[in-house]
Amino acid sequence: MSAQIDLYTAATPNGHKASVVLEELGLEYNTHRINLMEGEQKRPDFLAMNPNGRIPVIIDREADDFAVFESGAIMIYLAEKTGKLLPQDPKGRSQVIQWLMFQMGGVGPMMGQANVFFRYFPEKLQPAIDRYQNETHRLLSVLNHHLEQHEFLAGDFSIADIANWCWARTSSWSGVEIDDLSHLQRWIDQLQARPACAKGVEVPPRADAETVVTSGKSMIIK
């Protein structure tokens, strides 16, 4: 049986959101590694799939080669396709999507900017570093407070957990310590222990040191 999904991705938190969902859903998929430093995401063939020139993108071969871009949209599409990881009742569905949007509109952008100014901006602009690191810690503290009373973010394990986890697990790269956020750390470890989550964040496989791109800049992950 041939794979029903083609995944175009790179080793970034947003890319991992798609691969972790695919692994958790048990869907067969082919991985196409996009070299961000060579600008493959800006080439015409990629832009035909995603006009914004960003990974990840999936092509659903079972649905007449339907293309889906934006990591959150991919997660919702795959959850709806399979009927898993997203409740069908309106309130449960809304709770999951609320926490998904929390990541899309808050955690991801703030951590991305923290990475820019903390890791590789040519000048050390301490006010900017403080701004984005402090806001990242505040957002992670929101997760921590919620997780104090909940095992997962929205009822059962869902795409909301996957989306936030793919970013929160990388907090040290943003220069943000979470030793004071014990409930968040419990949850991060709990998801890391899931075989599909652990496998998904290794897609695509990367070398010991690989250059990736966040917010249009380059950084080295080791």
Per-residue pLDDT tens digits for 157-174:
999 999 999 999 999 999
Residue 38: Cβ within 10 Å count = 10
Residue 213's H or E segment, with its range, is strand 210-214
For residues 25 and 29, give the distance between their C-alpha atoms in angstroms, rounded to a whole number: 11
pLDDT beyond 70 at 216: no
Instruction: Say which residues have a Cβ less than 8 Å from residue 171's Cβ, sequence separation at least 6.
Output: 111, 136, 140, 177, 178
Q: What is the mean pLDDT of residues 10-18?
A: 98
pLDDT digits (tens, 9 = 90+) for 96-105: 999 999 999 9
Q: Which amino acid is at 77?
A: Y
pLDDT on residue 219: 37
Name the phi and psi angles at 156, rounded to 5.
-75, 165
H helices of 30-168, in order, are 44-47, 71-82, 90-102, 108-115, 126-147, 159-168
Q: What is the reported pTM? A: 0.92
pLDDT beyond 90 at 207: no
Q: What is the mean pLDDT of residues 110-122?
A: 95
Half-sphere exposure (CA, 13 Å, Cβ side) for 122?
0
Let me know: does 110 contact 13? Beta carbons within 8 Å.
Answer: no
Which residue is associated with the tokens 């949007």?
Answer: 101
For residues 25 and 23, give the distance between their C-alpha atoms in angstroms, rounded to a whole number: 5
pLDDT range class, residue 14, cuts 50, 70, 90: very high
**In the predicted model, what is the mean pLDDT of the chain?**
93
Query: What are the C-alpha distances in Å from 181 to residues 95, 137, 142, 194?
Result: 22, 9, 10, 21
pLDDT range class, residue 1, cuts 50, 70, 90: low
